[in-house]
Chains A and B, each alone.
Chain A
Amino acid sequence: MSHLTPERRQRCERLIALYPQKRSALIPLCHIAQEQDGYLSEPAMIEIAAMVGVTPAEVQGTATFYDMLHTEPVGTYVVGVCTNIACLLAGGDDLLAHAESSLGVRAGGTTDDGVFTLEETECLADCDVAPCVQVNHRYVRTTTPDALDGLLAELREGGRADEIPTHGNLIRVQRTTGLVADPEAIAAERAAKREEAGA
């Protein structure tokens, strides 16, 4: 029995076919697994390993290198507050402290109801709207404590679902074609040209 839904498995297979080597699809596949489970679960890692031809330990070993791949469950909404230099100058650490008290968890923690995980992040490349906050990797541009509280309340009630899908939903636009250029034909053509030039 496959852990990933048939539709997701099909998307995984299509992604794998885009790369000269299967293993390159490992991280994109982890994102798809997070989309289904909200985090990177063990059965998903086992399945991804089989699909890209590595051991489950290699999937885990790779995934744990990356901040966005969570091998433990996280909240429906992962709220990231940046405290790196530009945001620090705009009071990012105060905003983070406010978020901690609003949610009743320290950075890194998840609320008891499983709705929110709070994270302190490094620079999110949106330093002109500081301090920068992302929810599930969408820029929400709430730079004040009040605006942040308002957003958290809205999310708790299921608001803004279109704009901010639940955690794990990263890229909702699917690629419309497979590969169409034929690298082997092109390589052969190039080799022939070179031979011609050499001859």
Chain B
Amino acid sequence: MSLTDAPRIVTARAGFDDSHSIDRFLATGGFDGLRKALTLSPTQVCEQVDTASLLGRGGAGFPAGRKWSMLRKADVSYLVINGDESEPATFKDHLLVEKEPHQLIEGVVIAAYALQVSQAFIFLRGEFALGLERVQTAVNDAYAAGALGQNIFGSGFSLDIVVHPGAGAYICGEETSLLESLEGKRGFPRIKPPFFPAAIGLYGEPTVVNNVETVSNLPWIVLNGGEAFAALGEGRSTGTRLFALSGHVRNPAVYELEMVKHTFRDLIFAPTLGGGIPSGTGVKAIIPGGVSAPWFYEEHLDLPLGQDEVAEAGSMLGSGSIVVMDETTCMVKAAWRITRFFSRESCGQCTPCREGSGWLERILFRLENGQGRREDLDLLLDLCDNIAPGLTWPPQQTTICVLGPSIPSSIHSSISRFRDEFLAHITQGRCPHA
């Protein structure tokens, strides 16, 4: 539970067993935000979102209001909601689609009204079987309640929402890959420029792609005003955010916390939050924003959970997922497993990503299994440098999308910090932790 008295904005109903039912939704202010939005002009809704400084919750943290203002004016445009949620250790949208599906629909209608689009798609990863059923039910309920379809609540605004299942591919979370997939193709990311969705998106038409959590904030923002949202948090990081905490903590879960007002230490150790590390050992490493992010360590524990704060410290808040690794963890194995994920999920269009990820994975595998050589550490870093020249953060891009340049993060982090542990694998001819 939040250590500040900030309201719960996107998980207010999640504590109820029937939070996914239309009855519970309507009994707890459901559609109030939408009704209010429809009394405002679309421009006024956009202004509220701008004032709120709502940052995208999908990973890149781009301000939603600014993204909306960049939508190319055209007769036909689309809104697409990204519910692919496949970044390892990220499980916040899972909660929202299963427990707060009507809130998601309400948020989508508000966004569509602000953008004046007449068709929206909600793309959910196919592995969310229950989430897909709940969101489809919520769509059916919304049509029946007059909150979707022709002339919504008598406002003259009309919208259709289609729930679209994915079929298992991490890369489809990347927005241009998602659009390809939604067009019925392989999920190959498109080259930006020119294929920025706001200019050339779904079917070549201007398209806004927003994350599930991003739009789930909209009912509250419209109802309470952008200023009330901006009053929470600090600086650019306003409102609350869902943090998915996993790994070596007593209470792994999704926590809705006021932005910036909590530190990594609070999240991991507070008795009402993570509850500390079960083994009683210390923090060896933290992955702060999904496995694409460079790692943090003990000295970062007092860093506030805010987008700019984490970026300035050399990593990213990304998808808001935080993995804790205690002192018993083998860093070589962790880096290997993350790299294997990238090598499996690379779409294969770009050579550095496709070939590099496979080589890196195989070298890390032999290191973990005691078959490594001393030269392997330099070889790993050299390969990483080929994918993201200079190994800077944020990384240089040699590829079509940023999956490729994300691969070096865990390897560069683990070798820089735990070189001795890599060497021990080589000299002992086995994993010292096994």
Give chain B residues whose Cβ lies under 8 Å from the Cβ of A138.
129-130
Min Cβ gap A34→B in Å is 9
A172 touching B94 by the CB < 8 A rule?
no
A21 touching B160 by the CB < 8 A rule?
no
A67 touching B167 by the CB < 8 A rule?
yes
Min Cβ gap B120→A in Å is 10
Interface of A, helix, strand, loop or mixed by DSSP: loop
B338 touching A85 by the CB < 8 A rule?
yes
The distance in angstroms between the C-alpha atoms of A174 and B87, with both chains bound, is 29
Query: Per-residue 0/1 for A102-130: is the Cβ within 8 Å of any B Cβ (1 yes, 0 no)?
Result: 00000000000000000000111111101
Closest to A122 in B: B341
Min Cβ gap B314→A in Å is 20
Give chain A residues whose Cβ lies under 8 Å from the Cβ of B341.
84-85, 122-123
Give chain A residues whose Cβ lies under 8 Å from the Cβ of B185.
23, 26, 62
B184 touching A23 by the CB < 8 A rule?
yes
A26 touching B246 by the CB < 8 A rule?
no
Interface size class of A (residues with CB under 8 A): 35 or more
Give chain A residues whose Cβ lies under 8 Å from the Cβ of B128.
125, 137
Min Cβ gap A16→B in Å is 10
Min Cβ gap B255→A in Å is 10
Closest to A68 in B: B168
Query: Per-residue 0/1 for A90-109: is the Cβ within 8 Å of any B Cβ (1 yes, 0 no)?
Result: 00000000000000000000
- In the complex, whether B386 has a CB less than 8 A from a CB of chain A is no
Chain A, range 135-160, C-beta contacts under 8 Å to B: 136-139
- In the complex, whether B422 has a CB less than 8 A from a CB of chain A is no
Interface of B toward A, CB cutoff 8 Å = 75-76, 85-91, 93-94, 116, 118-119, 125-130, 132-133, 136-137, 139-140, 143-144, 149-150, 158-160, 162-170, 181-187, 203, 244-248, 252-254, 287, 291, 321, 323, 325, 329, 333-334, 337-338, 341, 344-345, 347
Interface of A toward B, CB cutoff 8 Å = 18-21, 23-28, 30-31, 52, 54, 61-63, 65-69, 83-86, 88-89, 122-128, 130, 134, 136-139, 170-177, 179-183, 186-187, 190-191
Q: 7 closest A-B pairs (Cβ-Cβ)?
A: A67-B168, A26-B184, A66-B167, A23-B184, A68-B168, A181-B158, A86-B246
